[in-house]
Amino acid sequence: MEAMKLLSNINSDIFKIWFCAFLLWCAAPLKAQEFNVPRFYEVKKLNTGQSVPSSFIAPQYSKALNMLFYVSVPTKWNGSQWIVGSESIRAAVLDTDFQIAKSVSTFDFLNTSVNNGVIGVSYTGDKLYLLGTYLHSAKHQNGISAAIRNLKTGDWSRPRHLSIPTISEKDSLYNFYMHPDGDLLFIAYLKKGETSEDIYISKKRGLGWSKPKQLKGPNTPYKEITPYVTNDKSMLFFSSDKPGGQGGMDIYVCFPKDETLEEWTDPVNLGSRVNSKFFDAYFVYDGEQEQAFFSSKREGLACLYSTNTKKPQARKKPVIVKPPRKIVPSETAKPKSPKAAVLPEFAPVLFNFDSDKLTPKAESYLAEFVLPVMKKNMNLEILITGHTDNIGSKVYNEKLSFRRAESVKDYLYGHGISTLRILLEGYGSQKPIASNNNSEGRRQNRRTEMVLSYKTE
């Protein structure tokens, strides 16, 4: 009996240990890799039609109104620096390709002598959430307001101030996003005494709002700004200047760990199709329409861009590259004329072991053969794919291969080729062109390949 009792206690202890381990496993932090990170394809610059030099930021899309709201910032060069004016609300009707069809002046009455902007639109398009208090007594007008459309007349009301606890003149550098539900406000701001902005959430409580609570997951010691949460509350997009990105401010996405939306997964960088070495921010995404808009300084002053998650159709006149063996970039024969019926093929650009830095021979090849073709034929775009040998882990090699592709992109961009004409892929060691069982084969596999195609219309 004693033996049976002891065995029962042991089994009970084992079960307790197993059960606790199971609970810990269930409560383990969710990884962003477990979620479906959206993949964005073609990036297009929007034509705002404004002749005065301006920066364009803070897009907000309304499906109900078929409109894009954004902010225009007049900008003037005085010989030594850019002088910026007040931020003003602009609105435009979109065409079927989500490009600007025409601008409208309906919302000009919302502009005041201070900075203005639309920070959210209700699902039905009958309520606009606005930057500023619209209170005559407020000096800087830190805060938000709402304007409501009369469904009978179509007229818009005067903006009404929404009081959010702790938002005051003592803090600065505010970014707001109001969810279409009208019950969730995401705020990025620099609290007094802090050195960089963080993202907070405030929730509607009856007629008031809760004290903003700092989010767990996206915030770091660096800047986190321009938050945006999708309509279904499944994704948070924001920008950060933390290390590891393309440079400047990069756009990231993360996913909620629970329904409170106060804890999020580790952020994932959207990659070089969306991000550049410069300022990229104000990303908004409509999952139903598979359409996104954002602002970027990749071509100088901040401009508006669109992108989407619709995989492009097969490209016209695709080129099948058959990479030659045992080839050194500078020793490659000159490609065919770009005017030929078949697009020219380029030799692989080779890299040293565990390096993403272009060699002098690689730069010489790009300068002599690739740049002239890209500059002469503006209707061409180039797909750069990075590759590695089989030394190292799969994850490390995938990152290394992508960095190699980025090195070629950076070289082309630095010599006048728009990033809108450059696509990147990183395959790690998945696509060798030679055996990895010897040093010569591995040398050939440490490469990037370049494929030309006509830009999709």
Residue type, 446: R
**Nearest to residue 233, comparing CAs of 213, 212, 262?**
262
The pLDDT of residue 137: 53
Strand residue runs (E) in 255-377: 268-269, 280-286, 291-296, 303-308, 349-350
Question: Are 287 and 361 in a shared domain?
Answer: no
Contact 286, 292 (CB under 8 A): yes
Neighbours of 68 (CB within 10 A): 26
Question: Are 378 and 444 in a shared domain?
Answer: yes
- The answer to the question of residue 22 being in a domain is no
Residue 177 backbone dihedrals phi, psi, to 5 degrees = -140, 120
Question: Are 231 and 341 in a shared domain?
Answer: no
DSSP result, 430-452: SS-SS-TTSHHHHHHHSEEEEEE
Q: Which of 274, 308, 342 is the last residue of a domain?
A: 308
CA distance 355 to 358: 8
Domain region containing 435: 329-454
The pLDDT of residue 29: 45
Handedness of CA 258, 261, 262, 267 (dihedral sign): positive
State the residue for tokens 């996405």. Answer: 253
- The answer to the question of residue 196 being in a domain is yes
Residue type, 26: C
The pLDDT of residue 103: 92
Check which CATH number belongs to the domain holding 49 and give it. Answer: 2.115.10.20
Question: Are 291 and 355 in a shared domain?
Answer: no
- The answer to the question of residue 107 being in a domain is yes
CA distance 401 to 445: 10
- The answer to the question of residue 29 being in a domain is no
Question: Are 281 and 375 in a shared domain?
Answer: no
Total domains in the chain come to 2
Question: Are 337 and 212 in a shared domain?
Answer: no
The pLDDT of residue 14: 55
- The answer to the question of residue 17 being in a domain is no
Question: Are 271 and 370 in a shared domain?
Answer: no
Helix, strand, coil percentages for the chain (3-state, nearest 5): 20, 30, 50
State the residue for tokens 């393309």. Answer: 246
- The answer to the question of residue 90 being in a domain is yes
Question: Are 93 and 153 in a shared domain?
Answer: yes
Read off the pTM.
Answer: 0.65
Question: Are 75 and 114 in a shared domain?
Answer: yes
The pLDDT of residue 419: 82
- The answer to the question of residue 315 being in a domain is no
Question: Are 191 and 104 in a shared domain?
Answer: yes
- The answer to the question of residue 13 being in a domain is no
Per-residue pLDDT 10s for the chain (457 aa) are 444 443 455 455 555 555 555 444 444 444 444 568 888 988 999 998 876 788 999 999 999 999 999 999 988 777 777 677 788 999 999 999 899 999 998 899 999 888 899 999 999 999 999 998 887 654 556 788 999 999 888 899 999 988 877 666 555 667 899 999 999 999 998 887 788 899 999 999 888 889 899 999 999 999 999 999 999 999 999 999 998 888 889 999 999 999 999 999 999 999 888 999 899 999 999 988 899 999 999 888 899 999 998 876 554 444 444 444 333 343 344 444 444 447 888 999 999 998 999 999 999 999 999 999 999 988 889 999 999 999 988 888 888 998 999 899 989 988 888 888 888 888 999 999 999 999 899 999 999 999 998 876 5
CB within 8 A of 232, min separation 6: which ones?
287
Check which CATH number belongs to the domain holding 449 and give it. Answer: 3.30.1330.60
Q: E strand or H helix at 111, and its extent?
A: none
CA distance 420 to 410: 12
Q: Which of 275, 308, 341 is the last residue of a domain?
A: 308
Question: Are 244 and 367 in a shared domain?
Answer: no
Question: Are 223 and 360 in a shared domain?
Answer: no
